[in-house]
Amino acid sequence: MREEGGALTAKWGVHSIRRNTSCKNTGNASLGTSTRRRLDAGEDRMITQNSKTVAALCVALALALLPARPAAAEEWNFYMHQSAPNFATSRGAKRFTEEIDKATNGALTVKLHLAGTLQISASNITQAVGQNVVQVGDDLFNSGNIPAAGILRLPMLIQSYDDFAKADAVLKPYIARQYAAKGSTLLASYTYPLQYIWGRRKIAALDDLKGLKLRVAQPEQGEFLRRFGGTSITMSAPEVPSALDRGVVDGVFTAGVGAVLWKDLLNYGYVLILNVNNSYFIANTEAFNKLSPDLQAKLRQVAEDSGRWDQEMLKQEESESIQVLTAAGYTITPATAQDRERAIAAVTPYWDEWAKSRGPDIVEALAEVRAALGR
């Protein structure tokens, strides 16, 4: 809307009023002064009133052109296995909720709850989502609930991110079926950085593991350690610093992004890639099925994008963590090819034992993964 030379014009062609000042010298010339004043005042009031009408119409039109938000949005709760808000995957979880809102234009809103903010153990996310306690979750501690997911954590089976991608593609149908049986729909997957060994004292070869007490994150790591003369100890992450400081444990299995949290308590890294920590975005199936096909597709797409973002951000921060540890004076030793082959040979029989104990479906899935990896 603009005012030009006494003419008030509404853009977009909504309304137009022009004030013709020449009337004061022509048609109204024969009227008395007071009459002319009353007419002029009335004309001014009419112009002011119409100006307000035009302005209101312009605002209404502008609002009408904004994207409409749905009157009644679906509201979901999202539980995340991490508790530290600044950790990469916690930032990724926040990003996930924001991207859902954008992708669906508010038709689906998701509220983030970090681990410990609800009365749900991070190891029970599978059950919490399946029972619709929360509608979506990022399920890292899954292998006890989803046996096919545990294949990726078998020691020495996955040796690179490419290995993970190949094995993950093979296992997706198995993992999806097992989540479905527990009431959830698999949306996407990703992995934390590759896991290896960090110690208070020198670890530069397989034989250095003999007699060590190491904190493990899963029983499969403990089985590997047992085969080389070490002792596995299970404890929560908050317990690790004091355990390292008091010598309760001599080291840990983790990635660089984990070791950097305890960089003042460790001194050595032994880069023998043991396994990955794979995580899954899952949604309650009943809640998912209530969404329109369009919202289902958008939710899947955002979950897949978020999984990729998490994995790439973790890889980037892993590289940065190794630089920090090196600068802090750590001695980081890559495993020799001979040690790697010796480790694989030692645990290969365990892969088959582990699969057989979990049934024919897992035996079949492991065989397909090994074929895909040539291992």
**Residue 241 is encoded by which pair of tokens?**
């610093």
Phi, psi of 194 (to 5 degrees): -60, 140
* pLDDT of the residue at 189: 98
In this prediction the pTM is: 0.80
**Residue 127 is encoded by which pair of tokens?**
């059950």
* pLDDT of the residue at 141: 94
* pLDDT of the residue at 56: 38
pLDDT average per 10 residues of sequence, the chain (375 residues): 35 34 41 46 48 41 44 87 95 98 97 96 96 98 94 97 98 98 98 96 96 94 97 90 95 94 95 96 98 98 98 97 96 97 97 97 98 96
**Residue 36 CA to chain centroid, in angstroms?**
73
Report the distance separating Cα 235 and Cα 244, nearest Å: 12
DSSP reduced 3-state for 147? helix
* pLDDT of the residue at 268: 97
* pLDDT of the residue at 88: 96
* pLDDT of the residue at 252: 97
Q: Do residues 289 and 187 touch, judged by C-beta distance below 8 A?
A: no
How many C-beta atoms lie closer than 10 Å to residue 327's C-beta?
9
